[in-house]
Structure 1
């Protein structure tokens, strides 16, 4: 699971527990200027993932790490599709972040409010 917080002008993602191992990443920091928005999207886990490199993918269990598809890189950290949030990015290494969070609605509100304040 991931924790998302706003720290000044940055969106900070902290990857928790064993997900660090599965995703090969402990966290990410993205300037809010590069965040286009966030949505709760439990259906995204059914979408094609692309080529995993590096990361882990066991269908129905976990999708974590970097996936390459159609010339884009997407970072995943999802075990429970019902808690998936998609953060769309611009001018970043990743085109989007697909993250499992504790409360998808609250996370989307947090991100959208931070963008509105900018």
Structure 2
């Protein structure tokens, strides 16, 4: 007598349902991780550029510095008197929008307590 081997249709449907449930949970989490990574990438790039600008200012008085963020480049400007860093030479704009790995990220240089703390939020 030959015994048939294999899975029943019910067993296969249960496995497919479990995979579907896991995918429904994992995909939104993955999207959140991508956004957080883009935010961290923007913050890291801008913080690094601010540090480089401060070093260049110390070395030779440079008050502007090109900064590669994501898919583009911006120029950062330092105020000679305060040491605060801005996205424009008029020292009025502390907000910038960048595209990092196809995610739009809004970044701000926070000047509270005379600091140049960078924060980014993905859209």
Structure possessing the higher relative contact order (Cα contacts under 8 Å, 6 or more residues apart):
1
- Mark yes or no: TM-score above 0.5: no
Structure with greater Cα Rg: 2
Higher strand residue share: 1
Q: With structure 1 as the length reference, what TM-score do the two structures score? A: 0.27
Higher helix residue share: 2
Q: With structure 2 as the length reference, what TM-score do the two structures score? A: 0.27
